[in-house]
Amino acid sequence: MKITRAQKDAVISLLKEKFDEKQKVANEAYLKNNKSKIQSEIKAFIQDQDKLESLLTSAKEIVRKWKDNKNRFTSNEMIINYGWDWRETTKPINKYSEEDLIKRVVYPPIDTPNYTKVERQLELETLSKDFDINKFIKKYLDN
C-alpha cells in the first residue's frame, strides 16, 4: 500500500497533536507538583521588581533636582557631568502581574520523536501488506 502525501501529513499532524496533549498534561502536573516553589519565585520577582521601580523613581528625583540646580555642580573646583537625559515619560520597567509570570513559567519538555524520521519510517512501513496505522501511532505514543 503506497501512502499519499496527504495521508502522511495527517498521521504526522495527529502525532503532533497527541504529543501536545501529553505536554499540556505534563505542564499541569509540573505546576501542581512545584506550586510552592513557583509561587515563592514569583513573589521574589515581584519584590525585586518593586525595589527596582523604587530605585528608578529615586534616580528620577535626583536627576530632576540636578536639573533644577545646574550651577550647583559647576564651579572652578568641581565640574560634574550629570548628562543623564532621563525622560519623565519613559516607563523604566515592565510591570508583571502574577498571572503574567505564571504564563512565563518554563516547563520541562517531554520527549518527542523526530517527525522527519517518523515520516520516513511511515513510508517504509506502508510498503508492508500487514501495515496497521493504529499500531504505528501507538508505537510512538507508548515510548
In this prediction, residue 59 carries a pLDDT of 80
In this prediction, residue 131 carries a pLDDT of 85
In terms of Cα–Cα distance, which of 3, 2, 22, 20 is closest to 11? Answer: 3
* Residue found under cell 517518523: 118
In this prediction, residue 35 carries a pLDDT of 92
List CB contacts of 86: < 8 A, sequence separation 6 or more. 59, 60, 63
In this prediction, residue 68 carries a pLDDT of 66
| Averages of pLDDT over each 10 residues, the chain, 143 residues | 83 93 95 93 90 84 71 53 52 75 90 92 87 87 79
In this prediction, residue 97 carries a pLDDT of 84
Delimit the domains of the chain by residue range.
Answer: 1-33+113-143
